[in-house]
Structure 1
Amino acid sequence: MKRIPVLCLILISFFSCKNEDALENEISKIETNIVIERFDRAFATTKSDELGTLKKAFPFLFSKRTPDSIWINRMNDTIQKELHQATHDTFGDFKTVSNEIEALFQHLKYYDKAFSEPKVVTLTNFVKYREKLIVTDTIVLIAIDNYLGSNHEFYSGIPKYLAENMRPSQIVVDLAKAYSEKQIFQSQKRTLLDEMVFFGKQLYFKDKMIPFKTDAEKIGYRPDQLEFAKLNENVIWTEFVEKEMLYNTDSSLPARFIADAPFSKFYLELDSQTPGRLGQYIGWQIVRAYMKNNDVSLQQMLQTDAAEIFNKSNYKPPK
């Protein structure tokens, strides 16, 4: 008799996987009109006397307040030439990333019937890693020199915990995050729980839009960091609850558990072993529990208040 619940779980898991496979098969058939324009390559191969032609092809990238001399100097700049070579060596024809962006757009079209594919333009921006992407309804700008690989020489002065996600595979992850921010509604974030659920919404959005990415890639962890979060989820949650952090409005808490950081700050001996952003990870599990235990659509969840999501999630970390 004790085997019956186990058998039920196996059957539920089996049919759930079958349904997910059927859904992904349906989404893969959605037609997209994806246009990716390589401004970085066009700029690299344009001669100074051909600048006018380039400006006509990409008028939205050239400010009238910037004299042509600035662009011509940039064409001849040694660092700019090194960036062009590095992006060419890393991305080649951009096909792998292009396929992932197309898959993202297919999922966006499935979940949002009003979504229309924007034009995607690649460029370089002298590794301004705080400005990797710009996303609007009609255009997406991707500064691909920010995705050359975690150990690239251009990133030697960037903190390692940030450089770890400056990889080609993270382009579509960052794009999905940008699109989530356009769809999430949440009243002013006051408590740590508000912050946790906000980022939990972002990560659940990635679950739906880029299911072909691993959980580690979605949250920007190494596999061992994700494993730490999974194994210690109950311990982390207990610490948040016992220290009464969830409804605390202390502005230092997001910096300790939400923001990019080399590790989370519990002020315990194990801190150095932890990955940063563990508050985001727990928020993700809360939102996953809410979606599992409530019959609501993705769009409804994205508009739901953090407290309601938490109260109706019945979240309980595994022991």
Structure 2
Amino acid sequence: MIRNISSPFKILTIALFIVSCESGRRQVDITNSKVSVEMARMEIDLFENTNETLNEEDIAFLRNKYGNFYRLYVEGIIGAGRAEDSATTYYLNHFKNDQTVKEVAALTITSFSDVEHLTLEFSDAWKRYHVLFPEKPIPAMYSFISAFSYTIVVDDSILGIGLDMYLSNQDGYYDRLGIPLYKKQRMRPEYIVSDAIKSWMGTEFEMSSENEDLLSYMIYHGKLLYALDLLLPDTPDSIKISYSDKQMDWMEENSVDMWFHFAENDLFYTKDAKQIQKFMGEAPFTPGFPEGSPGMPGRWLGWQIVRKYMDQSENPFDLVGLFNEKDAQKILMQSKYKP
């Protein structure tokens, strides 16, 4: 599923990049990029462009248009059986004609009747990606519904987006499913591009298994978030890390206390899975800290460390070099980060 990482960049010429001093954000120059992407709409073809009961011609149409994604969708996402089996058509029809699924499909298609703005955002992100990783291919993009089972799926050269997971709780579906508030707050359209790009980067650059202490997890997730800084420079930081504005304020105001808590309790080098989950895992708050504290404080701190580290770098756009540097302690020390 994961392709080999290409050789690190040499020093890149200044002509490739523009640093925007006015915005304070680094801007990758995509002026001459010819990269463009489209998003194939599986949910529209499955629920609107085929017969109510799928026949052999419908299946052939879907298989020919969607290729490997059809297989992934049928076998992995909705679990209808092997793509080649004749019985799979029965189970696919059962899914397609389930009343709740039909209602969700109709709501999703209506809510995302126009995805041009998403396509433009993705196109700009992939243009930057192509400048920073010129030897890496751009994934084929698909949208789908899974009846609230999958948000983002990544498989080799495929990036799929479950649009029914970004309906902003319309018609109260997320409430009825018992999805907690901290998750519902980010199940909105403005999170789609950030979630998708972050998921892609996470599979392209997996965490090294050489050292799995808390600091290593912090730095790894900091790298992913820093990549979003370059690939999505106009996206708010709160969207990138899935915090509310209040949670962002809390982390900025309490980062010193959080940092000293890590230091005083020798947490940076712990390999205790429970401690790592406490500070890195998604949660409505950080256990042991006051109400209002967000979850994942280790990711936020790791992000700030990596930002400072790249500030010290000769080439702050060198994401290949960043991901190839596996020494989390080195990154921490060279960052000179102080909250």
Shared topology, TM-score over 0.5?
yes
1:44 aligns with 2:47: yes
Q: Distance in 2 between matches of 1:111 and 1:201?
A: 14
Aligned in 2, Cα 1:42/1:204: closer, same or farther, shift over 3 Å?
Answer: same
Matched residue, 1:8: none
Stretch moving more, 177-186 or 195-204: 177-186
Q: Distance in 1 between matches of 2:206 and 2:153?
A: 17
Q: Shift of residue 283 of structure 1?
A: 0.5
Does the CA contact (< 8 Å) of 2:130 and 2:136 recur in 1?
Answer: yes
Matched residue, 1:113: 134
2:321 maps to a residue whose letter is: Q
Aligned in 2, Cα 1:111/1:226: closer, same or farther, shift over 3 Å?
Answer: same
Aligned in 2, Cα 1:21/1:300: closer, same or farther, shift over 3 Å?
Answer: closer
| Per-residue Cα deviation, 1:243-282 (whole angstroms, up to 9, x for no partner) | 21111222211221110001012x24x1x22011011000
Q: Shift of residue 29 of structure 1?
A: 4.1
Q: Distance in 2 between matches of 1:136 and 1:274?
A: 34
Q: Distance in 2 between matches of 1:255 and 1:48?
A: 45
| Per-residue Cα deviation, 1:188-215 (whole angstroms, up to 9, x for no partner) | 4421111111111111111111112100
Matched residue, 1:235: 257
**Larger helix proportion of the pair:** 1
SS in 1 for 2:30: helix
1:286 aligns with 2:305: yes
Matched residue, 2:335: 313
Matches within 5 A, 1:82-161: 82-128=103-149, 131-150=150-169, 153-156=172-175, 157-161=178-182
Q: Distance in 2 between matches of 1:138 and 1:289?
A: 32
Unmatched tracts of structure 2, length 5 or more: 1-18, 75-82
Aligned in 2, Cα 1:22/1:149: closer, same or farther, shift over 3 Å?
Answer: closer
Matched residue, 1:7: none
Query: Which of 220, 241, 249 is residue 219 of structure 1 equivalent to?
Result: 241
Matches within 5 A, 1:174-193: 174-181=195-202, 182-193=204-215
Q: Distance in 1 between matches of 2:114 and 2:329?
A: 46
Q: Distance in 2 between matches of 1:28 and 1:227?
A: 35
1:163 maps to a residue whose letter is: K
Does the CA contact (< 8 Å) of 1:258 and 1:279 recur in 2?
Answer: yes
Does the CA contact (< 8 Å) of 2:43 and 2:109 recur in 1?
Answer: no
Does the CA contact (< 8 Å) of 2:27 and 2:233 recur in 1?
Answer: no
Stretch moving more, 226-235 or 214-223: 226-235
Aligned in 2, Cα 1:22/1:246: closer, same or farther, shift over 3 Å?
Answer: closer
Does the CA contact (< 8 Å) of 1:294 and 1:312 recur in 2?
Answer: no
Q: Shift of residue 126 of structure 1?
A: 0.8
SS in 1 for 2:325: coil
Aligned in 2, Cα 1:124/1:225: closer, same or farther, shift over 3 Å?
Answer: same
With structure 2 as the length reference, what TM-score do the two structures score? 0.81
1:120 maps to a residue whose letter is: M
Aligned in 2, Cα 1:163/1:307: closer, same or farther, shift over 3 Å?
Answer: same
Q: Shift of residue 185 of structure 1?
A: 4.9
Matched residue, 1:276: 295
Matched residue, 1:4: none
| Per-residue Cα deviation, 1:128-158 (whole angstroms, up to 9, x for no partner) | 1xx3222244322211111111565111111
Aligned in 2, Cα 1:255/1:100: closer, same or farther, shift over 3 Å?
Answer: same
Aligned in 2, Cα 1:283/1:152: closer, same or farther, shift over 3 Å?
Answer: farther
Q: Distance in 2 between matches of 1:21 and 1:248?
A: 34
| Per-residue Cα deviation, 1:271-296 (whole angstroms, up to 9, x for no partner) | x2201101100000011111111325
SS in 1 for 2:142: strand
Q: Distance in 2 between matches of 1:235 and 1:295?
A: 31
Stretch moving more, 302-311 or 283-292: 302-311
Q: Distance in 1 between matches of 2:53 and 2:20?
A: 60
1:27 aligns with 2:30: yes
Q: Distance in 1 between matches of 2:96 and 2:26?
A: 49
Does the CA contact (< 8 Å) of 1:117 and 1:138 recur in 2?
Answer: yes
SS in 1 for 2:40: strand
Q: Which has the higher contact order (CA 8 A, sep 6+)?
A: 2
Does the CA contact (< 8 Å) of 2:153 and 2:161 recur in 1?
Answer: yes
Q: Distance in 1 between matches of 2:142 and 2:298?
A: 33
Query: Which of 37, 56, 60 is residue 60 of structure 2 equivalent to?
Result: 56
Matched residue, 2:88: 67
Unmatched tracts of structure 1, length 5 or more: 1-14
Identity, % of aligned pairs? 26
1:79 aligns with 2:100: yes
With structure 1 as the length reference, what TM-score do the two structures score? 0.86
Does the CA contact (< 8 Å) of 2:20 and 2:27 recur in 1?
Answer: no
Does the CA contact (< 8 Å) of 1:185 and 1:302 recur in 2?
Answer: no
Query: How many pairs are equivalent?
Result: 297
1:313 maps to a residue whose letter is: S
